[in-house]
Amino acid sequence: MIETILLGGDLRVRRLGLGTMRLPGPGVWGPPTDRAEAVRVLRTAVDLGVNFLDTADSYGPAVAEELIREALHPYPDDLVIATKAGLLRPEPIVSPGPWPRCGRPEYLRQQAELSLRRLRVERLDLFQLHRVDETVPFEDQIGALAQLRDEGKVRHVGLSGVDLRQLRAAERIVPVVSVQNRFNLLHRSGTDVLKHAERHQLAFLPFAPLAQGGWGSAAAPLEQIAHDHATTVSQVALAWLLHRSAAILPIPGTSKVRHLRENIEAAQVSLPAEVIEQLETL
Ligand SMILES: NC(=O)c1ccc[n+]([C@@H]2O[C@H](COP(=O)([O-])OP(=O)(O)OC[C@H]3O[C@@H](n4cnc5c(N)ncnc54)[C@H](OP(=O)(O)O)[C@@H]3O)[C@@H](O)[C@H]2O)c1
């Protein structure tokens, strides 16, 4: 298995990262229920070799970025922190509450400035547009990212929740190095974007790689597979993603060191061909 990805041609990252959306309090809102554990999750991840963290201004809001700084600043040289902007957080998530979009260029700019301050860095390694805002001209949103990149405030630009048409349109404005879309054992649409990522050396960051814990009717067969191969359901799901494409860099989210360790160990799980086949038909 290929163990690393060269993000944007210059950032070598291991293929299992950490998503930080689970670190703030319930509803991705406010401080963590157990702050010490949240800090431990981040430090343990780095100790275990994770060097790609996915975060966003909207996680908390601000809380996940503040925790990253608290736990890890000054950062190890090889740590890559990917953040995002473009979603508002007027209230905690009330399931399945929407996160309103705001892609106004001046807002994206402001949020980049705030992320720089919170993370205490001179430049954001990867700045992702969280969602395209259909009420703002597309060129203005991507243009804001391009401008931040030109000014050196952002090293690389990524997109999130985009289709192939949007990705191609953005690439005509600014180099795009990653796409973050929902993709897991139960949600495999949008493979055209994945194929594009493979062909053009973009990283594909599947969000909700563990289906956010909701395996539904697939839970029973997955548990059986995990049991038969002395592994766990989460490890099966992550091993499948790592096997699915060399462009994929999963970013499982957790608030618990126990789960973090289990997830990282998934990189060592190799699923036999017949299991992969079985998973394809889930
Ligand atoms: N771009 C976007 O629009 C977008 C949207 C959603 C998420 N994201 C990013 O993607 C990351 C991953 O997505 P996600 O956090 O929503 O979902 P996920 O990784 O699919 O699942 C996280 C859920 O699974 C649980 N979990 C984690 N490891 C586990 C394990 N080994 N065993 C059992 N349960 C486990 C977590 O609970 P515990 O806390 O109890 O471990 C949490 O409830 C996020 O953290 C965020 O960085 C991006």
Q: Which domains does the chain have, with CATH numbers?
A: 4-214+247-255 (3.20.20.100)
Between CA 175 and CA 177 the distance in angstroms is 7
Catalytic residue among 52, 59, 75, 204: 59
Say if ligand 1 is within 6 A of residue 252 CB.
yes
What are the residues whose beta carbons fall under 8 Å from the beta carbon of 123, sequence distance 6 or more?
A: 116, 152, 153, 154, 155
Tell me if residue 59 is catalytic. Answer: yes
The pLDDT score that the predictor gives to residue 102 is 98
Could you tell me which of 23, 125, 16 has the C-alpha nearest to residue 78? 125
Nearest residue CA, atom 48 of ligand 1?
A: 207
Report which ligand 1 atom has the smallest distance to the Cα of 180.
1
Say if ligand 1 is within 6 A of residue 261 CB.
no
Report which ligand 1 atom has the smallest distance to the Cα of 87.
3
Say if ligand 1 is within 6 A of residue 178 CB.
no
The pLDDT score that the predictor gives to residue 282 is 82
How many DSSP H helices and E strands does the chain contain? Answer: 10, 9
The pLDDT score that the predictor gives to residue 91 is 86
Nearest residue CA, atom 36 of ligand 1?
A: 254
Distance 134 CA to ligand 1 centre (A): 27
Contact 176, 157 (CB under 8 A): yes
Residue of 20, 22, 159 to mutate, ligand 1, most atoms within 8 A of C-beta: 22
Say if ligand 1 is within 6 A of residue 254 CB.
yes
Report which ligand 1 atom has the smallest distance to the Cα of 21.
45
The pLDDT score that the predictor gives to residue 273 is 94
Contact 6, 14 (CB under 8 A): no
Distances (CA, A) of 152 to 55, 113, 239: 20, 12, 36
What does DSSP assign to residue 101? B
Distance 152 CA to ligand 1 centre (A): 31
Which parts of the chain register pLDDT below 70?
1-2, 95-97
Distance 254 CA to ligand 1 centre (A): 6
Say if ligand 1 is within 6 A of residue 263 CB.
yes
Report which ligand 1 atom has the smallest distance to the Cα of 20.
45
The H or E element spanning position 81 is strand 80-85
Between CA 36 and CA 27 the distance in angstroms is 19
Nearest residue CA, atom 23 of ligand 1?
A: 212
**pLDDT tens for each residue of 10-67:** 999 999 999 999 999 999 999 999 999 999 999 999 999 999 999 999 999 999 999 9
The pLDDT score that the predictor gives to residue 95 is 66
Say if ligand 1 is within 6 A of residue 211 CB.
yes
